[in-house]
Amino acid sequence: VPFALLTDFGTGSIYVGQLKGVLAALAPGHAVVDLTHEIEPQAVDEAAFLLARTFEVFPPATIFLCVVDPGVGSAREILIVEGSERRFVAPDNGLLALAIERLVEPRAFRVGAAHYHGASATFHGRDVIAPVAARLAGGTPPEALGEPVAPGDLAPSPVARPRAEAGGRRIRGRVAHIDRFGDLVTDVDANGRRLPARVRVGGHEVARAARTYADVEPGTVFTYTGSFGTVEVAARNGSAASALGVRRGVEVEVEFAFAEERRG
């Protein structure tokens, strides 16, 4: 049973170390994988996007511990969600909203009050989520750890979904993530069969589309279908975020052309 960790603690934070210490103590012998700890502080929407776009590369039985939790210590619940042979433990703040849509037969549970006994008021990742995940890894079923709740009753996604216009050829979305290279990752699905033609973002219009970095000249800002399956904007050998002055969360408008290489 691998554990996968997704937090906004910052990589190498002592908080990550403590999570792993608890897992080593309560569920020894399982692999622990850092999915990422570089979620922007308290950015539940970024966590929701990245989790939904990456959890499927992990093997069945993986237990995801997701801790982006600005409401820690308040009345917000902690959830166990299972589906598609994977399990997730996270606060009920929308972090799981996008992943749940991709699960086959998702089931959700609210962790029972007994599991908060003795917990600190500010670090439920260590004191509640990790111990609950360890119980799951040890074979305790979610039914024994909390009450079932209908997926429709969970907190919704913290940001609006991309919306289509012009018969689906134009889609408005957001910059959901910016990576280390300054590539802008949008939440606009490329659906595999369409090449983005034009992207408007931060007052700029990016009209150059290409398949990969090597297809454009150094410095060129261009759009392409990224590895998350969504539209991205990059500058070859540079940072699109710096070149365009764009930050995470800004709106984008994508126009699609039906390119020659379209499939199906």
Sequence-ordered list of residues with C-beta below 8 angstroms from that of 68, at least 6 positions apart, any chain: 6, 7, 8, 39, 42, 43, 44, 47, 91, 93, 95
How large is the greatest C-alpha to C-alpha distance in the chain, in angstroms?
A: 61
Stretch that binds its own copies, among 48-56, 86-94, 107-115, 159-167 (CB under 8 A): 48-56
Alpha-carbon distance values, 79 to 66, 162, 174, 209 (Å): 10, 26, 27, 41
Contact positions with its own copies (CB under 8 A) in 221-250: 224-227, 232, 237
Q: How far is CA 92 from CA 88, 100, 246, in A?
A: 11, 12, 30
Among positions 88, 109, 123, 256, the unique one binding its own copies when judged by CB under 8 A = 123
Tell the smallest beta-carbon distance from residue 62 to its own copies (Å): 7
Residue from 73, 168, 219, 245 that binds its own copies (CB under 8 A)? Answer: 73
Asked whether position 84 contacts its own copies by CB under 8 A, the answer is: no
42 near its own copies (CB under 8 A)? yes
Question: Applying CB under 8 A, which part among 65-73, 140-148, 196-204, 251-259 lies near its own copies?
Answer: 65-73
Q: Residue 255 interacts with its own copies (CB under 8 A)?
A: no
E-strand ranges in 74-194 read 78-83, 86-91, 107-111, 146-149, 163-165, 170-178, 184-189
Residue that the structure tokens 């930050």 belong to: 247
Length of the chain: 264
**Tokens matching residue 124:** 């439920």
144 sits near its own copies (criterion: CB under 8 A): no
Q: Does 253 bind its own copies (CB under 8 A)?
A: no
For residues 163 and 124, what is the distance between their CA atoms, to the nearest angstrom? Answer: 35
Asked whether position 109 contacts its own copies by CB under 8 A, the answer is no
The footprint of its own copies (CB under 8 A) covers 2, 4, 6, 8-18, 20-22, 24-25, 28, 31-38, 41-42, 50, 54-55, 57-59, 62, 70-74, 76, 120-123, 126-127, 177, 179-181, 211-215, 224-227, 232, 237
